[in-house]
């Protein structure tokens, strides 16, 4: 199970970093950059009881206390590169060669594409390991692109709640200091 989670983590990171022309974080500003402070205007509505933190890799992570289940990466100025749900599905299939992938739900509007899947690791003996739900999504807000994915260990309910949170991401006007 630990190996499956490790592999699934790689799938999440590969999908988030390689999304249809996204920069993969290579040009993300360092902590001293003035752009860093502008992120305070991003609002991700969280379910009751969830908390959020900024991870060391500068991604936003949220979930029940002590258990992040949703990762959100911001790609400033990349809103026009928002992938379609079909693009997301193709990417999941391409990056999940060691998994059986079941496409469970697709949802797409002008400003978001959300894909819920079930991933089950392929075993060396030809069998299939324990299946796990996952979300991969993209949300365009203005000129910015937010890439969402659930993290390994997310329950079906976590995936449902993460889907709602990704769908509702918004940017609030900066407050004067």
Among the residue ranges 28-42, 74-88, 115-129, 155-169, the one predicted with the least confidence is 28-42
Structure tokens at 127: 């069998």
- Domain ranges within the chain, ordered by starting residue: 2-23+41-171
Please state the pTM of the whole predicted model: 0.77
Average pLDDT over the chain reads 82
pLDDT higher than threshold 50 for residue 3: no
- How would residue 115 be classed by pLDDT, with cut points 50, 70 and 90? very high
Q: Using CA atoms, how far apart are residues 140 and 147, in angstroms rounded to an integer?
A: 9
- pLDDT for 172 equals 78
Instruction: Note the pLDDT of residue 159.
Output: 98
Cβ within 8 Å of residue 65, ≥6 positions away:
49, 51
Residue 168, pLDDT > 80, answer yes
Instruction: Please give the C-alpha separations between residue 147 and each of 15, 98, 167, 176, in angstroms, as whole numbers.
Output: 9, 23, 11, 28
pLDDT above 70 covers what percent of the chain?
Answer: 74
Encode pLDDT of 52-63 as tens digits. 999 999 999 999
Looking at residue 173, what is its pLDDT?
67
**What architecture (CATH level 2) is domain 2-23+41-171?**
3-Layer(aba) Sandwich (3.40)
């Amino acid at each position: 199970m630990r190996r499956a989670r490790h592999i699934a983590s790689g799938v999440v990171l590969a999908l988030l970093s390689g999304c249809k022309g996204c920069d993969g974080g290579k040009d993300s500003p360092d902590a001293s950059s003035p752009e860093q402070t502008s992120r305070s205007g991003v609002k991700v509505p969280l379910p009751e009881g969830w908390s959020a933190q900024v991870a060391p890799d500068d991604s936003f992570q949220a979930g029940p206390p002590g258990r992040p289940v949703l990762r959100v990466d911001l790609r400033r100025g990349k809103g026009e590169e928002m992938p379609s749900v079909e693009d997301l599905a193709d990417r999941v299939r391409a990056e999940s060669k060691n998994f059986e992938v079941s496409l469970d739900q697709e949802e797409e509007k002008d400003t978001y594409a959300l894909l819920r899947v079930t991933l089950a690791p392929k075993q060396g003996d030809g069998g299939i390991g324990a299946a796990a739900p996952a979300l991969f999504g993209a949300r365009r807000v203005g000129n910015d692109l937010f890439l969402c994915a659930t993290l390994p260990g997310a329950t079906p309910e976590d995936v449902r709640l993460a889907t709602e949170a990704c769908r509702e991401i918004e940017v609030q006007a900066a407050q004067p200091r």
